Amino acid sequence: MATSQVETVSTGADKAKLGAAVALVVAALAGFYLLSKQGQIAQWAALIVGIAAAVVVFGTSEPGKEFVAFGRDSWKEVKKVVWPTRKEAIQMTGYVIAFCAVMAIFLWLTDKTLEWLFYDLILGWKK
């Protein structure tokens, strides 16, 4: 049995960048609420600029680069998926609904049979 070891290398610069990104998001949110008297344009500008700056700082860190690479790989995998046609999707949906209906009837019949068996035959509690 082979175990794979994951080695995480985190430099002080990366930690500082992540801290700065978090601080920028907090500052953007604080600016959004503190600029309420200046109007919505100032509020939204502060929020968008702060979050954009946080994204840029995060993107320059190693975890940010890994996140972008993960996103690219995920998008490549999504492109490989063979999606069902509309007809196939409708057929599969119909099968699922029919199966649910059959199971509901089966469970209802089982419940009523056990109810009849226990309450009427064994215990003699006629309703």
Residues 100-112 have a mean pLDDT of 98
The 10 Å Cβ neighbour count of residue 35 is 17
Domain ranges in the chain are 12-81, 83-127
| pTM tops 0.85 | no
Per-residue pLDDT of 51-82, as tens digits, reads 999 999 999 999 999 999 999 999 999 999 99
| 1: confidence class by pLDDT, cuts 50, 70, 90 | low
- pLDDT score of 109: 98
Give the number of residues written for the chain.
Answer: 127
Contact 43, 32 (CB under 8 A): yes
What is the CA angle 13-16-20, rounded to 5? 140
Question: If we measure between CA atoms, which residue out of 35, 63, 39 comes closest to residue 50?
Answer: 35
* pLDDT for the residue 120: 84
